[in-house]
Structure 1
Amino acid sequence: MEIRDLTPEDAGRLAAMFARLSDLDMTLIRENVHDRPTVDRMAAESSLRWIAVDGDRAVGWAAVHRLPGWSDHVGELRIVVDPGERGAGIGRSLTQQALRVGFGEGLTKVVIELSTDQEPVIEMFASLGFNGEALLRDHIRDREGRLHDLIVLAHHVQDGLGTLDAIGIADALA
C-alpha cells in the first residue's frame, strides 16, 4: 500500500472505492461521493488531500479542510477506508499523514467528527492522541431515520512528544 497526494487522475479509482460504501457509510460522509462530478472536484483540489492505493485500487482517502476566519488554525479531517480493507492500518496511516502535513502547514488543531457507534475507530484516533471535545446527542439521522450521537475528537499540536510520536517522527528526532 502507498499513500500519496491525490491527483485528478485518481478520480476514477476514488469513485470506484466510494461505490463500495454502505448506506451507513454514506450517512457519515458530507459530500455526495456517488456523484462523479463531486468526486472529480474532490480529486482536483490541490492541497491536504491523500489517497491510499494498493496496486491500481484506491483503498483509502483523507482530506484536511482548513476552517475559515477565526478558526483558520483548525483543520477538519475527513477519512474513508474501503470497507473490505478496514482494520489493516490504512486509516491510521492516512491519519498520521494528515497530522504530519497539516501541522507542517501551520494548523495547530485537527478535529474529526464520528458517530459514537464507531468504537474501534474512536479507539484508533485516541491511540493517536485525539481527545474528546464534544458529544452531540441525536445529531446524525441515518437513511432509515434512526438517530445517532456524534462525537468530536481533537488533536492539538502543542501536545508535544505525543504528537510527534503519533505522526511517526519522534524516532527521527531521537
Structure 2
Amino acid sequence: MTETLIRAVVPDDEPALAAMFAGLSEHDLTVIREDLTGPVTGIADGPGLRWVATAEDGTVDGYAALTRLPGWSDHVGELRLVVGTARRGGGIGRLLVQEALRAGIAAGLTKVMIELATDEDRVLTMFSELGFTGEALLRDHIRGRDGELRDLIVLAHHAHESAEAIGLMGVADDLA
C-alpha cells in the first residue's frame, strides 16, 4: 500500500493538481462547484487553508480547501474535497477532512460545512462517521452537464457538539 502524506499546497503542486483534475469524470465535474477543467494557477495562494494528499512518488491524489465565510458567518468554514478517481475508497478523503477539521478548529472555526450531491452514498457515510450532520436538503439544486437535476445536501460539523467525535477521529491530541 502506498504511503499518503497530507501537507499544505505549494505552487509546485499545480501541475500535479491539474493532472488529477484532468482525470475526473463528467459526473465528478458536475458536483464540484469550481471549474477544474482549465489551468490550475494560483491555487496555493487562494484564500483559506489548502492541502494535498500526495503519494511517495509525488503524485497528487487528493485536495481539500477550507475557507472561512465572511461577516456574521466568520465562525464557519466551507470545505471542498476532491479525491482522484484512482485512489477513492482508500481513506484519502477521510485524512484530508480530518486535517481540515484539526486546522479549522485550531483557527477558531466552530462549524465546518460541505455541500454534496445526495447520490454520493460512500462520501455521505464518511462525513457522517466523522461527525457531520445534515443541515439542509435542496431539491433539484444541481443541474448536471446532461441537464438532469439532482438534490444537494448541506452537511455540517459543529465543533462544540462533537468533542467525543473529535476524540474518536484522533484529532483531540492535536488541539491540546
Q: Same fold (TM over 0.5)?
A: yes
Q: Does 1:123 align with 2:118?
A: no
Which residues of structure 1 form unaligned runs of 5+? none
Give the direction of change, closer, same or farther, for the CA distance of 1:141–1:160 in structure 2 (3 Å limit): closer
Looking at structure 2, the residues matched to 93 and 34 of structure 1 have their Cα atoms a distance apart, in angstroms, of: 25
Q: Contact 1:129/1:155 (CA < 8 Å) preserved in 2?
A: yes
In the comparison of the two structures, how many residue pairs are matched?
Answer: 172
TM-score by length of 2: 0.92
Looking at structure 1, the residues matched to 48 and 168 of structure 2 have their Cα atoms a distance apart, in angstroms, of: 22
1:92-103 → structure 2 map (5 Å cutoff): 92-103=94-105
| Counterpart secondary structure, 2:42 | helix
Which residues of structure 2 form unaligned runs of 5+? none
Which residue of structure 2 lines up, in the alignment, with residue 17 of structure 1? 20
Q: Does 1:140 align with 2:142?
A: yes
Task: Report deviation, 1:170.
Answer: 3.7
Which residue of structure 2 lines up, in the alignment, with residue 49 of structure 1? 50
Q: Does 1:162 align with 2:155?
A: no
Q: Does 1:7 align with 2:4?
A: no
Q: CA RMSD in A?
A: 1.7
Task: Report deviation, 1:28.
Answer: 1.2
Percent sequence identity over aligned pairs: 55
Looking at structure 1, the residues matched to 121 and 20 of structure 2 have their Cα atoms a distance apart, in angstroms, of: 23
Task: Report deviation, 1:72.
Answer: 0.7
TM-score by length of 1: 0.93
1:107-118 → structure 2 map (5 Å cutoff): 107-118=109-120
Q: Deviations over 1:47-98 (max 9, x none)?
A: 4100000122100000001111110110000000001100000000000000
| Counterpart secondary structure, 2:113 | strand
